[in-house]
Structure 1
Amino acid sequence: MSTHVKKPGWLTVNLLNRAVAGLTALGISVWGSRVLAVRGRKSGEWRTTPVNPLTLDGQQYLIAPRGHVQWTRNMRAVGGGELRLGKNVDVFTATEVADDDKVPLLRAYLKRWKAEVGVFFDGVGPESPDQDLRRIAPDHPVFHITVTN
């Protein structure tokens, strides 16, 4: 498995993520944003971060543009979490998508959010050939989520 991680800088952690999470907590979605809540794999405590869920062909996915970060490790360990928007909470289970199945998902994600997250995909964009998307697939965990509530 890839160990690819692009850690956020101070501006992202202290300003951008907090602003998006704050608006989302108030029920104001920024381009479809949600607050992802996942229990810590060691502590069992809720951990939260803003995310951009992808809906494609009626299915929902979470894609990690920054790679194998803490929320992806927690998701693998606990198998689900919550997507929050204001007082609305969707409880879900999650199944990791195999690298071979990620190409159309990564393409759709980049088509929707390239302006926001494109820098984390090493020059690969929505118009890139399948082979380039396959090359970066191991670096970006993808989870199929199923809402259970």
Structure 2
Amino acid sequence: MAYLKPPWFTRRIFNRIAMAFGVGGSTTLTVTRRGTGTSQQIPVVVPEVDGVRYLVSTRGEADWVKNVRAHPSVTVGDTAYIASEIPVAERARVIAAYRPLAGAVVESYWRALPEDADHPVFALTPVE
């Protein structure tokens, strides 16, 4: 599966700023790393479609995607969720809602990945 690794500046500097200030409407996703059990935090933009919130991977099969598959209990902002990957055939409408929210920078990721690259999408169910 394709993956577009973010540059050093994005990983080390920009993501921290985005999480601290909500740049571009982002919020913080916290997942459990599959290898170490420690927390991984990244900024995400979370679209809502038909009352359901979603996580969308713009860079393909990122580490956070693999971590969510291994440990589907996640936190977005201050809310706990169970993340469930949705089938490829159901992703288009979520991605269509996501792309305008995420902005022009994310469009460059879509162009950089192969046209048939997978963009995993997870439905979020609140934990009660």
Normalised by the size of structure 2, how large is the TM-score?
0.89
Q: How many residues of Structure 1 are paired with residues of Structure 2 in the alignment?
A: 128
Aligned to 1:62: 55
CA contact (8 A) 1:103 1:137 kept: no
Q: Distance in 2 between matches of 1:138 and 1:101?
A: 15
SS in 1 for 2:4: coil
Aligned to 1:37: 30
Aligned to 2:8: 10
Aligned residues: CA RMSD: 2.0
Deviation, structure 1 residue 96: 0.1
Match of 2:18 among 17, 20, 29: 20
Greater Rg over alpha carbons, structure = 1
Aligned to 1:92: 81
Aligned to 2:43: 50
Aligned to 1:141: 120
Stretches of structure 2 lacking an aligned partner (at least 5 in a row): none
Change (3 A) 1:137 1:111: farther
**1:121 matched to 2:114:** no
Identity over aligned pairs, percent = 29
RCO higher in 1 or 2 (8 Å CA, sep ≥ 6)?
2
Normalised by the size of structure 1, how large is the TM-score?
0.78
Q: Distance in 2 between matches of 1:76 and 1:146?
A: 15
Q: Distance in 2 between matches of 1:31 and 1:114?
A: 8
Residue 42 of structure 2 aligns with an amino acid whose one-letter code is T
Aligned to 1:104: 93
CA contact (8 A) 1:37 1:81 kept: yes
Stretches of structure 1 lacking an aligned partner (at least 5 in a row): 24-28, 124-134
Deviation, structure 1 residue 82: 0.5
